[in-house]
Amino acid sequence: MKILLLLLGLSWAMAVNANPIFKDIRTADPAAIVHNDTVYLYTGHDEAPDNKGFFVMHDWLVFSSTDMLNWQRHGPKLSTKDFKWAKGDAWASHVIEKSGKFYWFVTVRHATINGFAIGVAVADNPLGPFKDALGKALITNDMTTDTEIDWDDIDPAVFTDDDGQFYLFWGNTKARYAKLKDNMIELDGPINTIDIPDFTEALWMHKRGDIYYLSYASGFPEKIAYATSKSIHGPWQYRGILNEVAGNSPTNHQSIIEFKDKWFFIYHTGASQPDGGEFRRAVAIDPLYYNEDGSIKRIIMTSE
């Protein structure tokens, strides 16, 4: 009897652990934060009927967990319709807390300026309600257009340095960052570019000890690569690849967090589900470990 209970317990534990973490909905572009001992996971929402067309993404979803295993679903908490100046395409986003307010930086397609843009919504609570904080885009393609693509201003990722300065990172093909003003809705100073090899998109900054880690999607199909520095302003030393291409999705958009003394690599994959693929992705989570020298061990993906 005891063995049977143990086996039942084990299979339940494996069931809640198994990737992708949500099997019945298609989630993408995960960005997680820790607030009050709870992980809030913000994701995009793939609604393409099949893998033949392109992304169909109208809103962003929120989930929370206190153990990284059991997730509470809070549903869509922000949509492209909340930005009057946008016309669709709820691509990658990132929420960050500052002084009790939660700022949700998002990628959307601009209604009147060609290409993608970055906007910001604000709330008093990680679950919202969120509303457009600026009434216009923070970054538009017009401000940075120097490539032939109109999606070079996507994938915002925000980071607070130890001195309390907030930075916005973003970009496709060209990696960019700028300081944010105290109000979080204006840039403070110039837009800088970052020189990292084979950069595609999905910048994510985290810090452990005195090392800054800049991870990003490289190549296409994408693998997540990373570089390290002793300063947020670089120079960046390329440190290699973190994972392989995630199943049959050419994008895998990572986020890296520490929670209860463990590190996690959160990404999306097209694998694991029969209807999964490039435009029907699903978020997965695997542990992330460091070597003695501060480098990150290759992620063993458990999603395939």
DSSP string, 131-157: EESSSS-SEEHHHH--SS-S-SS---E
Query: Least Å distance between CB 67 and ligand FUB?
Result: 26
Query: Least Å distance between CB 53 and ligand FUB?
Result: 13
* CA-closest candidate to residue 217, choices 248, 187, 190, 246: 246
Instruction: Compare residues 106 and 122 and give the one whose CB is closer to ligand FUB.
Output: 106
Q: What is the DSSP letter of 236?
A: P
- What is the spatial distance between Cα 19 and Cα 43, in angstroms, rounded to a whole number? 15
**Cβ–Cβ contacts within 10 Å for residue 14, how many?**
9
- What is the spatial distance between Cα 92 and Cα 62, in angstroms, rounded to a whole number? 13
Q: Which of residues 133-162 bind ligand FUB (CB under 6 A)?
A: 154-155
Q: Judging by beta carbons within 10 Å of its beta carbon (0-12, 13-18, 19+), is residue 55 exposed, middle or buried? A: middle
Q: Does 91 bind ligand FUB (CB under 6 A)?
A: yes
One of 33, 202, 246, 271 touching ligand FUB (CB under 6 A): 202
- What is the spatial distance between Cα 252 and Cα 278, in angstroms, rounded to a whole number? 10
Query: Least Å distance between CB 252 and ligand FUB?
Result: 7
- What is the spatial distance between Cα 206 and Cα 256, in angstroms, rounded to a whole number? 7
Residues 6+ apart with CB under 8 A from 194: 169, 175, 176, 177, 203, 214, 234, 236
Q: Does 92 bind ligand FUB (CB under 6 A)?
A: yes
Q: Which of residues 224-253 bind ligand FUB (CB under 6 A)?
A: 251, 253
Q: Does 61 bind ligand FUB (CB under 6 A)?
A: no
Size of the site for ligand FUB (CB under 6 A): 13
Query: Least Å distance between CB 285 and ligand FUB?
Result: 16
Query: Least Å distance between CB 132 and ligand FUB?
Result: 19
Q: Which of residues 18-57 bind ligand FUB (CB under 6 A)?
A: 28-29, 44, 55
CB of 279 closer than 8 Å to CB of 48 = yes
Query: Least Å distance between CB 155 and ligand FUB?
Result: 5
Query: Least Å distance between CB 179 and ligand FUB?
Result: 23
Site string for ligand FUB, 167-186 (x = CB under 6 A): --------------------
Instruction: Compare residues 70 and 243 and give the one whose CB is closer to ligand FUB.
Output: 243
Q: Which residue ranges make up the site for ligand FUB (CB under 6 A)? A: 28-29, 44, 55, 91-92, 107, 154-155, 201-202, 251, 253
